[in-house]
Amino acid sequence: MSLIITDDCINCDVCEPECPNAAISQGEEIYVIDPNLCTQCVGHYDEPQCQQVCPVDCIPLDEAHPESQEQLMAKYRQITGKH
């Protein structure tokens, strides 16, 4: 599954630079995560980096975009071109 940023976001700017896939960007009111680019850091790190640095714990799994580890790895390979 990709991750999602909830309305609890305080726009602190710490999550965006941590994303290795550039999936996080400033939305109209809070930061947003592009589910087409989010791999939960699979292929890059053992844990989602945005969740690690978020001071308000507002980045849960996005239940609207379920994906298996294999699907996340396939997306990582597509995004990075690493096969």
Angstrom distance (rounded) from CA 38 to CA 23: 5
Three-point CA angle 17, 26, 77, nearest 5°: 55
Per-residue model confidence (pLDDT) at position 13: 95
Measured in whole angstroms, how far is the alpha carbon of residue 31 from the centre of its chain?
A: 11
Q: What is the pTM of this model?
A: 0.92
Per-residue model confidence (pLDDT) at position 23: 97
- Tens-binned pLDDT, residue by residue, of the chain (83 aa): 899 999 999 999 999 999 999 999 999 999 999 999 999 999 999 999 999 999 999 999 999 989 999 999 999 999 999 87
CA distances from 51 to 5, 47, 78, 83 (A): 10, 8, 23, 26
Per-residue model confidence (pLDDT) at position 3: 97
**Running DSSP on this structure, what letter comes out for residue 49?**
H
